[in-house]
Structure 1
Amino acid sequence: MGEKFHGKEKILDLIFEVSGIFIMSLGIHCFLVPANIAPGGVSGMAILIQYLWGLPIGLMSFVINVPIFILSWRYLGKKYTMQSLGAVLLSSVILDYVVTPWVPMYTGERFLGSLFGGIFVGAGLGLVFLRGFSTGGTDAISFLLQRKFPHMPIGRTLMLIDGLVLAISVLVFHNIEAGLFGVVALFAQTKLIDSIVYGSEHGQMLLIVSEKNMEIKDKILVDVDRGATILKAVGAYTMEEKDVLLCAARKSQFGQIKRIVREIDPNAFFIVSEVSQILGEGFKPVSNDL
């Protein structure tokens, strides 16, 4: 049974990886290249090289990744590096030998090119990331930076790298709109990746500190049909024991819960955090999460 399960997982891995890379390649070749848009990252640098010297984008992506693979092998391990290497090789082959020779380019509105380019690339990367794979490039750079500088804000650093590629694209294409449309593509790409990887189960985590937590809990259970957990805590200033109510809710339920808290105890201490995904009873089952 175990071998059968693992065999099925391997097949799913392959389907998601090939499908994701194919969709990503469509976004690059059909929309971004004809619109002269390089939306950051390794693929963006490869697009710039192709524009300047006519070299294949897939091959250039692989060449740019080589020094990253060397560092990855040393600091992130053999398994991660080999998985990334396989994905980059597959990406190079599909882009240069499957998509580029056979699929026509979109040569219409540049805004639509940037939007759909970002959507296709984001959807493709999202499918790859969903199964725990990496396409090298900025993913590997983020892991390497995290190991070397644990306290460095990685998101901001990667944003700077993408911003640098966008700035260079303005100089290469001699067109400031190249950078502006690159931002549109990058935004669409990021949103699609988040939607696919985290699903539609975005929500809120609520922490409520009140003398009337039992009333609030009962009202939430009845009116919102949402469960809650009571956590034992100690106030740092008073050193008194307090109950903290923990509740996970969908965004659509937040307003109703906030109103319940305000009605029962206007003086309650209320903390709201954004969460990317909620799994389990009352939400998306863990077993259905890919």
Structure 2
Amino acid sequence: MEKTYRGKERLIDLIFEFSGIFIMSVGVHCFLVPANIAPGGLSGLGILVRYLWGMPIGLSTFLMNVPIFILSWRYLGRKYTLQSFGAVLLNSVILDYVVTPWLPMYMGERLLGSVFGGIFVGAGLGLIFLRGFSTGGTDAISFLLQVKFPHIPIGRTLMLVDGLVLAFSVLVFRNIEAGLFGVIALFFQTKVIDSIVYGSEHGQMFLIFSDKNKEITERIFTDIDRGATILKGVGAYTMKEREVLLCAARKSEFGQIKRIVREIDPDAFFIVSEVSQILGEGFKPVSGDSL
């Protein structure tokens, strides 16, 4: 039974990886290449190499990953390196031998090219990240930089690498609009990745400090049908014990919770923070067939 489950999971992994790489390749070849847009990453460098010397994007991307594979094997481990190697190799084959020879390029407005290029690349990467895979490239570069400079956040190193590629694209294409359209493509790419990976699991967490937490909790139960948790806390200044109400909810429920707190205790202290995922009862289940 366990082997059957693992086989099913592996098959799903392969389907998502293949589909994600294919969709990402469509975005690169059909929209970004004809618009002369290189929105960061090694695929962006591959677009620049193709523009300068005519080398296939998949091949150039693979060659650029070779030194990264070597460093990754030493510092990030065998499993990560082999998985990244397989994804990069599959990406090179699909892009150069499946998508490029058979699918036409969009030769219309560059703005539409940047938008749809970002959407397709983001959708492809989102499917890949959804199953916990990596495509190597800038992801691996960021992890390697973390080994040397652990105090620098990964997100910041990704922005640095993508920013350098965008700046380089302006010099190569000799057109400042190439960088501006690249920013647009990168924006849509990021938004689509977040929507696929997190989807409706995005939400908000509320911390409510009030002397009327019991009344607030009852109203949240009845009006919104949401659960809540009462935590024990100690005020740092007064050193007195007090209760803290914790509640997780969808963004659409923010206004209702805020109104409830304001009506019951206008003097309550109210903290709202964004959360990327909320899993469990009332939201997406943790277990089961969910991705």
Common topology (TM > 0.5)? yes
Q: State the distance in 2 between where 1:265 and 1:138 align.
A: 49
Residue matched to 2:247: 247
Q: State the distance in 2 between where 1:234 and 1:147 align.
A: 38
Deviations 1:214-264 (A, max 9, x none): 111111111111110111111112221111111000011001101111111
Q: Equivalent residue of 1:272, what SS?
A: strand
Residue matched to 1:127: 127
Aligned 1:134-213 pairs, distance under 5 A: 134-213=134-213
Do the aligned partners of residues 3 and 158 (structure 1) sit closer, same or farther apart at CA in structure 2, a change above 3 Å counting? same
Deviations 1:69-123 (A, max 9, x none): 1111111100010000000000000001111111111101111111110000000
Q: State the distance in 2 between where 1:19 and 1:36 align.
A: 25
Q: State the distance in 1 between where 2:25 and 2:32 align.
A: 10
Residue matched to 2:231: 231
Answer yes or no: is the 8 Å Cα contact 2:121–2:189 preserved in 1. Answer: yes
Q: State the distance in 1 between where 2:266 and 2:81 align.
A: 54
Q: Equivalent residue of 2:201, what SS?
A: coil
Q: State the distance in 2 between where 1:132 and 1:2 align.
A: 20
Answer yes or no: is the 8 Å Cα contact 2:139–2:158 preserved in 1. Answer: no
In the TM superposition, residue 142 of structure 1 has moved relative to its aligned partner by 2.0
Identity among equivalent pairs (%): 80
Give 1:160's aligned amino acid: L
Q: Equivalent residue of 2:200, what SS?
A: coil
Q: Equivalent residue of 1:226, what SS?
A: coil
Give 2:243's aligned amino acid: D
Residue matched to 2:98: 98
Residue matched to 2:67: 67
Q: Tell me if 1:7 matches 2:7.
A: yes
Q: Tell me if 1:52 matches 2:57.
A: no
In the TM superposition, residue 63 of structure 1 has moved relative to its aligned partner by 1.0
Identify the range of structure 1 (79-88 vs 272-281) with the bigger mean alpha-carbon deviation. Answer: 272-281
Q: Tell me if 1:107 matches 2:107.
A: yes
Answer yes or no: is the 8 Å Cα contact 2:208–2:268 preserved in 1. Answer: yes
Residue matched to 2:290: 289
Residue matched to 1:39: 39
Q: State the distance in 2 between where 1:143 and 1:100 align.
A: 31
Q: State the distance in 2 between where 1:149 and 1:204 align.
A: 32
Give 1:254's aligned amino acid: F
Q: State the distance in 1 between where 2:76 and 2:262 align.
A: 49
Residue matched to 2:280: 280
Q: State the distance in 2 between where 1:255 and 1:148 align.
A: 45
Deviations 1:128-177 (A, max 9, x none): 11111100011112222233322213222221211111111111111111
Q: State the distance in 2 between where 1:248 and 1:32 align.
A: 40
Give 2:272's aligned amino acid: V
Residue matched to 1:16: 16
What is the TM-score of this pair, normalised by structure 1?
A: 0.98
Q: Equivalent residue of 1:39, what SS?
A: coil
Aligned length: 290
Q: Equivalent residue of 2:214, what SS?
A: helix
